Each structure stands twice: as C-alpha cells, then as structure tokens.
Amino acid sequence: MFVRVKKIGGYEYLYLVENVREGGRHVQRVIKSLGRRDEVENSGLLDGLIASAARHSRRSIVLSSFYRGELAEVRRRSIGPDLVFGHLWRETGCQAVLRRHRPGRGSPGSNRRVGTRRSASCSSRVG
C-alpha cells in the first residue's frame, strides 16, 4: 500500500492505494480517498496514520528507540573483504597449495598479486 497524489483542477488529492492482480495484470485500486493534500497536511491526519502504522513495524520500532537513545550502545568492528578473503585463503588450503607451486610469492594481504587462474584452480580442489 502507498499514498498516491493526484492533481485534479487546481488541487492535489491524496489516496491510499494498493496494487492488485486482476485478470492477469496489475492494477492500482483506491482503498480510501484521504482528501485534499493541503487540508490533510494541516489536519495532522497523515502524521497520526504514520505513527499508528509505525507501532506495528519492527524496523520503525528499532529506529525510534535508537533515535530516542533507548538502545544500549553496541560495539562493532568492521572487517573488510581482504580480511575475510585472507581467512578463507588459509582455511581452504589455497595458501599452502600456492606456496608449494610458487615459492617466494605472497598471500592475500601481502603486497604481491596472485594470479586469478591459480586462485580459481585452488578453490576447485577444496571440498
């Protein structure tokens, strides 16, 4: 469901609309006419409707609690693709295979590049 704005004459009107499937095609069906946009905005109807609907949305509840400062602070650590790939590189045995075949070359995380072909063949040997 969503709110659609439709201009008729010199006024904009708000409608609560849903998408439905009728006869094999999608159509929009008006559930409720909310009225003229300027009147609806001035009355606070939309704000009340949004607040009421937000009480039933998990995402909204979490965000509202966050903005009010009601959530405990969570410590997070960012790990990038390099760290993840380096870990997988060691876990899958690719590092050892490449060291046997190409002595003196580095592993992910070092400043040396490893050929894509070798990496792909290494991953196909795992599992």
Cα→Cα distances 93→74, 90, 96, 110, 115, Å:
34, 5, 5, 17, 16
* Tokens read off for 87: 């870990």
User: Residue 104 belongs to what domain range?
Assistant: 81-124
Domain boundary among 24, 40, 67: 67
Position of tokens 């196909």? 124
> pTM score, two decimals?
0.44
73 part of a folded domain:
no
- The count of C-alpha atoms lying within 13 angstroms of the C-alpha of 13, restricted to the half-sphere facing its C-beta, is 13
Per-residue pLDDT of the chain (127 residues; tens, 9 = 90+): 888 999 999 999 999 999 999 999 999 999 999 999 999 889 988 888 877 877 777 666 676 677 777 777 767 666 777 788 888 888 888 888 888 887 665 544 454 444 444 444 444 444 4
Report the number of distinct structural domains present in the chain: 2
